[in-house]
Chain A
Amino acid sequence: MAETLVVIPACNEEQRVGAVIASLRAQVPDVDVFVVDDGSGDGTAAAASAVGARVARHPFNLGYGAALQTAYKYALRHGYRFCLQMDADGQHQPSEARKLLELVWRGECDVAIGSRFLEGGGGYPVPFLRRAGIQLFSVLAQWLARERLTDVTSGFIACNRRVIRLFASDLFPADFPDADVRLMLQKAGLRVRETPVVMTAGPPNKSMHGGIMTAWYVVKMLLSMMVVWSTRYPRPPEEDRP
Chain B
Amino acid sequence: MTPTQRVFSIVVATLFFLFVLWAIRRRTVEIQYAFLWLTVAAGIALLAFFDDLLQAVTLFIGAKVPTTTLFLFGILVLVLINVQFSMRISHLHGRLRSLAQEHALLSEELERERTARAPAADQAK
Decide if A and B are genuine partners.
Answer: yes
Beta-carbon nearest neighbor of B111 in chain A: A55
Residues of A within 8 A of B107 (CB): 56-57
- Stretch from A67-75, A95-103, A107-115, A133-141 that touches the partner: A67-75
Count chain A residues whose beta carbon lies closer than 8 angstroms to a beta carbon of B. 17
Q: How large is the interface on B (under 10, 10 to 19, 20 to 34, 35 or more residues)?
A: 10 to 19
The answer to whether B108 and A59 touch across the interface, beta carbons within 8 angstroms, is: no
The answer to whether B105 and A59 touch across the interface, beta carbons within 8 angstroms, is: no
Residues of B within 8 A of A74 (CB): 105, 108
The answer to whether B104 and A69 touch across the interface, beta carbons within 8 angstroms, is: no
Q: Of residues 51 to 107 in B, which have CB atoms within 8 Å of A's CB atoms? A: 94, 97, 100-101, 103-105, 107
Over the window 37-64 of chain A, the binary record of Cβ atoms lying under 8 Å from chain B Cβ atoms (1 yes, 0 no) is 0000000000000000011111110100
Q: Is B125 an interface residue (CB 8 A)?
A: no
Task: Assess A54 versus B103: contact at CB under 8 Å? Given A62-B97, A66-B97.
Answer: no
Q: Is the interface of A mostly helix, strand, loop or mixed?
A: mixed
The answer to whether B100 and A60 touch across the interface, beta carbons within 8 angstroms, is: yes
Q: Is A77 an interface residue (CB 8 A)?
A: yes
CA distance A60 to B100 in the complex (A): 8
Q: Is A36 an interface residue (CB 8 A)?
A: yes
Beta-carbon nearest neighbor of A39 in chain B: B100
CA distance A57 to B102 in the complex (A): 10
Beta-carbon nearest neighbor of A54 in chain B: B108
Interface residues of A (CB under 8 A from B): 36, 54-60, 62, 66, 69-70, 73-74, 77, 170, 174
A-B contact pairs, 22 of them (CB 8 A): A54-B108, A56-B107, A57-B104, A57-B107, A57-B108, A58-B101, A58-B103, A58-B104, A59-B100, A59-B103, A59-B104, A60-B100, A62-B97, A66-B100, A69-B101, A70-B105, A73-B101, A73-B105, A74-B105, A74-B108, A77-B105, A170-B94
Interface residues of B (CB under 8 A from A): 94, 97, 100-101, 103-105, 107-108, 112
